[in-house]
Chains A and B, each alone.
Chain A
């Protein structure tokens, strides 16, 4: 078990810089999720921690040891791969015991550790099987078992759930979360799925173009996004954005010029920034009979989800979504007054996307 410290890390492939300058501190026992769109550098960063990719410059510490240039084999970390990467010619037992055997662990201890991990992951009946004789979910468990038996300093997961079907993904997600609480080991998990990030992480690293956009708890990333990218990436359906500007003392939508439902504090912030982007999550609209402080919209599309209903509408030249109570039974063409819930609106700088607070 160990902390992971990344200092001024740069990663280049030839003249192409994937990670320009990255700093990150992952505490001991912490479950950190790297999340971001494809090509944002999250998997590269994980592979750098694993020792599968060299560092162009900067420093990487696992515990107190500087591990720049230390081969993966000597880093004492375990990794679960997206495609599981089991050894096809070995049985499940051998897959799990291989790393221990390499370290010269006594046979009795190997046996005990493999059995313990197999019990934990419910794969005892499959220990004599080859990977090709297992289902996707079973292979996934074997891959985790292979990591667990090592008792490593840290676990690294590279999108391990992406090959599972939706139902199994939810189940394994919960199992990994439970495991992390049971094993109390540092875990770094890479995903492009923000639901995985939100549900599993102690802290989330939101990445874009090789830079950390925000590193915080799931609640903070959701409630207080540091910029428009984070606000748009976390949350489903995504946050609605509307360009706004100050005209006299009124905040208006840039397109259409109608009043935007923002408070006096926003007006002060916008005065400094010049122009901005008003952001609000679909679930943070309230439907109200009173038109004051609200925007009037026409329902364009209705998506009933059971627990709630999504309504699509156009506002100030943008397509937007609101999540409303299904008992409202909205219909296409209905006129609704939507008011942002107090304190739930976000304002971003129009030029750099940074949040204005």
Chain B
């Protein structure tokens, strides 16, 4: 048993190595993006890249001067918040219904929809929305992004609802609750942390989703992510401004992703049943 500590030490070292490698893979492009956004424009594409430079906000200033960045950001917020709200509105009852009835095919169907390539939906939607004159409207974008948010809400909440002891629901039934009331008064408070996680994930995925906004929006409703695409190759690419835009676009999801960690399912049901 004398080599057990050595094995443990090696496991710790390998764990550390994994973390460092994963950190490098994930953080290098992010760091590159943030640093590039703070470089003078001539240094962004300099080779070899400079690591020591005088930071400047000129890229950010140029971005706001030359593009309607704020209105794109507002568009993104409207679409993301709208689609997240829509996802929650239908996803919460749907997840509860799947958990309650134990009929899982609707949840699998939404998952299949989420896994299918976006282009599958895009053409029919484009035709439909154009026919009703909704191309470029927030409604079209919010509805299309609900395809992103709804499955996320359902699949994040399903295990949370499943985790509540069935007897708690039955006790509520015997106490006089209708199924709807059980959802709002009993189940929902117990999965609050799950709802928070689902909301944040839905927000992040919708915020980052590019394809629908690219095709279904117009100049007035373009979201940030779709607008950023237009910075590339319009005459010459403004790499500095593009990096500044990318940094600003990435900021809300990064902040929210950090928050998710605080909302890990906390075992609120502890104490509901036998101890």
> Which one, B173, B174, B274, contacts A163 given CB within 8 A?
B274
Q: Mark A119-148, 1 if CB is under 8 A from B, else 0.
A: 000000000001111111001000000100
Task: Tell me which residues across on chain A come within 8 A of B176, comparing CB atoms.
Answer: 73-74, 99, 102-103
Return the chain A residue nearest B169 by Cβ. A85
**Shortest CB–CB separation between residue B82 and chain A, in angstroms?**
29
Quote the shortest CB–CB distance from B34 to chain A (angstroms).
Answer: 41
Determine the distance from Cα of A146 to Cα of B274 in the docked complex, in whole angstroms: 16
Task: Write the nearest CB–CB distance from A284 to chain B, whole angstroms.
Answer: 38
B171 A81 Cβ-Cβ under 8 A: yes
**Mind listing 10 A-B residue pairs with CB under 8 Å?**
A83-B165, A83-B274, A84-B274, A85-B170, A87-B272, A88-B272, A98-B185, A136-B274, A139-B275, A163-B274
In the bound complex, residues from chain B placing their C-beta under 8 Å from that of A51 are 173-174
CB distance from B179 to the nearest CB of A (A): 9
Give, as a whole number of angstroms, the nearest-CB distance from B21 to chain A: 40
Number of interface residues of B (CB under 8 A): 25
Contact status of A87 and B186, CB under 8 A, knowing A102-B175, A134-B271: yes
- Please, how many residues of chain A have a CB less than 8 angstroms from a CB on the other chain? 35
Q: Does B168 contact A (CB under 8 A)?
A: yes
**Residue with the greatest number of chain B CB neighbours at <10 A, chosen from A73, A102, A131:** A73
Which B residues lie within 8 Å of A72 (CB)? 170, 173-174
Q: Which chain A residues (20-64) contact chain B, with CB distance < 8 Å?
A: 50-52
If A88-B168, A89-B268 touch, whether A83 touches B175 (CB-CB below 8 Å) is no
Closest B residue by C-beta to A163:
B274
Residue of A nearest to B164 (CB): A88
Contact of A88 among B172, B174, B271, B274 (CB under 8 A): B271
Given contacts A83-B167, A88-B168, A88-B271, is CB(A73)–CB(B174) below 8 Å? Answer: yes
Which residues does chain A contribute within 8 Å of B268, judged by CB atoms? 88-89
Q: Which of A51, A81, A135 has the most CB of B within 10 A?
A: A81
Closest beta carbon of chain B to A127's beta carbon, Å: 15
A86 interface residue per 8 A CB criterion: yes
Closest to B274 in A: A163
Whether B134 sits at the interface, judged by CB under 8 Å, is no
A82 contacts partner chain B, Cβ-Cβ < 8 Å: yes
Q: In the bound complex, do residue B167 and residue A85 qualify as a contact, i.e. CB atoms below 8 Å apart? A: yes
CA A163 to CA B185, docked complex, whole Å: 27
With A50-B170, A73-B176 already in contact, 18 other A-B pairs whose C-beta atoms are closer than 8 Å: A52-B174, A72-B170, A73-B178, A74-B176, A75-B174, A82-B167, A83-B272, A85-B167, A85-B171, A85-B273, A87-B186, A88-B271, A89-B189, A89-B268, A99-B176, A102-B181, A103-B176, A150-B175
Are B174 and A132 within 8 A (Cβ)?
no
Bound-state CA distance A103–B186 (Å) is: 16
| B residues in contact (CB < 8 Å) with A | 165, 167-168, 170-178, 181, 185-186, 189-190, 268-275
For A103, list chain B residues within 8 Å (CB): 176
- A212–B165 Cα gap in the complex (Å)? 30
**Min CB distance, A176 to chain B, in Å?**
17
Asked if A77 is at the interface of the complex by the 8 Å CB criterion, the answer is yes
Question: Is B275's CB under 8 angstroms from A136's CB?
Answer: yes
Is A262 located at the chain interface by the 8 A CB criterion? no
Cα–Cα, bound, A289→B270 (Å): 62
Q: Are B190 and A79 in contact (CB under 8 A)?
A: no
Residue A252 lies at the interface, judged by CB distance under 8 Å to chain B = no
Closest to B173 in A: A72
Most buried by B among A73, A77, A85, A86: A85
| Chain A residue contacts of B171, Cβ below 8 A | 79, 81, 85-87, 146
Q: With a CB–CB cut-off of 8 A, which chain A residues contact B172? A: 87, 98
- Bound complex: CA of A131 vs CA of B271, how far in Å? 5
Residues of A within 8 A of B189 (CB): 89
Q: Given A131-B272, A136-B274, A81 and B167 touching (CB < 8 A)?
A: yes
Q: Provided the pairs A83-B167, A131-B271, A132-B270 are in contact, do residues A77 and B174 lie with their beta carbons within 8 angstroms?
A: yes
Q: A87-B272, A132-B270, A136-B275 are in contact. Are A99 and B168 (CB under 8 A)?
A: no
Set of chain A residues within 8 Å of B270, measured between Cβ atoms: 88, 132
Contact residues in B for A50 (Cβ distance below 8 Å): 170, 174
Q: Which 3 A-B pairs have the closest CB atoms?
A: A132-B271, A83-B273, A85-B167
Interface contact A98-B175, CB-CB below 8 Å: yes
Closest to B189 in A: A89
Within 8 Å CB of A136, what residues of B? 274-275
A78 proximity list for chain B (CB < 8 A): 174
Report the minimum CB–CB distance from A179 to chain B (whole Å): 18
- Quick check: B174 and A79 within 8 Å, CB to CB? yes
Bitwise interface map of A from 144 to 174 toward B, beta carbon under 8 Å scored 1, else 0? 0010001000000000000100000000000
Known: A81-B167, A88-B268, A89-B190. A73 touches B173 (CB 8 A): yes
A71 at the binding interface (Cβ < 8 Å): yes
Complex contacts, B273 vs chain A, CB 8 Å: 83-86
Chain A residue numbers with a CB within 8 Å of B175 are: 73, 98-99, 102, 146, 150
Q: Is B173 a contact partner of A52 (Cβ separation < 8 A)?
A: yes
Q: Cβ of A84: which chain B residues have Cβ within 8 Å of it?
A: 272-274
Kindly provide the distance from the CB of A164 to the nearest chain B CB, expressed in whole angstroms: 9
Residues from chain B with a CB closer than 8 A to the CB of A99 are 175-176
